[in-house]
Amino acid sequence: MQTEVGKRFETVLYDVKGNVAVITLNRPKQLNAINEQLTYDVCDALDHAERDKDVKAVVLTGSNNNFSAGVDLKEAFGMPSPIGQEPSEVWREHLESLLRVSLKMWDLKKPVIAAVDGYALGGAADWVFAADLAIASNDAIIGEPEIRFGAAPPTLMMPWIVGMRKAKELLFTGDSVDAQEGYRIGIYNRVVSQEKLLNEAIDLGERMAKIPTSALKITKVTINKIYEMMNIKDALDFNLEAAISMFFLNPEKNVAEVGKTIRENGLRAFVDKANEGFNDKNKEE
């Protein structure tokens, strides 16, 4: 497929392949962790895709065999409070930026397909849940480990995707799931090999491109409206307030320990720690 070079961004790559825009999270040294600039760039890239009349579908993926390890906790735990601004308001702005991306995908008039390889954790998992469809590689690992260090998912999308019982199990334990389990519980539409992942997502987008644009848009809006009538957006707003409360009820010592671990050992070590037991559990199965 011919690739057109699109607009340049600081932390994402943007290409158009046929009728499909491919937005690639591109902070590979940080496992594509989500910092403030990345949220801005993803929103801008989605806007760019929506304005392009030749683009009929969007694929969101990550570089270097990882979707994203989630929020860049090194940045998040080091956020200064400007003079006169409460720490809770700084944290609110941080959570709102993550929610903004989820809602941008939700409200986009074109279908968004998440192509997930490697880690998709925390805030990044929420983005996968917010996409219209999701395809995983065999190596994908998705989860919301935040409760293990006293935090909450920034966007509580999981219950709407996997149902209440499974969501409670995963959110109460902080456990992650592999690609096949993710497929079984409804997170993914399909699972493919790593080398086929991006092409599979683009091919699915091209199939949608054959549908009349107005029909595709109306169908997405109509399906989403059903969930909005069940107050999904109100629920997401409520979760934002709950997440702020949980963070500031967390003992200061625990917060400091998380920050210290990331500074001393790096983000990858912290991600591995947050998913401790995941590989052992898979071996047992």
- How many other CB atoms sit within 10 Å of the CB of residue 200? 21
Confirm if 202 and 59 have CB atoms less than 8 A apart. yes
Number of residues assigned to the chain: 285
Q: What letter does residue 142 receive in the DSSP assignment?
A: E
Choosing from 86, 89, 93, 146, which is the catalytic residue? 146
Give the chain's largest Cα–Cα span: 56
Q: 162-196 b/e with 16+ CB inside 10 Å = b?
A: beeebbeebbeebbbbbbebbbebebbbebbeeee
What angle do helix axes 213-229 and 232-249 make, rounded to 10 degrees? 60
> 283: number of CA atoms within 13 Å, CB side?
5
Owner of token pair 């968004």: 112
**Is residue 146 annotated as a catalytic residue, yes or no?**
yes
- How many other CB atoms sit within 10 Å of the CB of residue 108? 20
Owner of token pair 């590989």: 279
> 128: number of CA atoms within 13 Å, CB side?
37
Confirm if 15 and 22 have CB atoms less than 8 A apart. yes
Residues forming the active site: 146
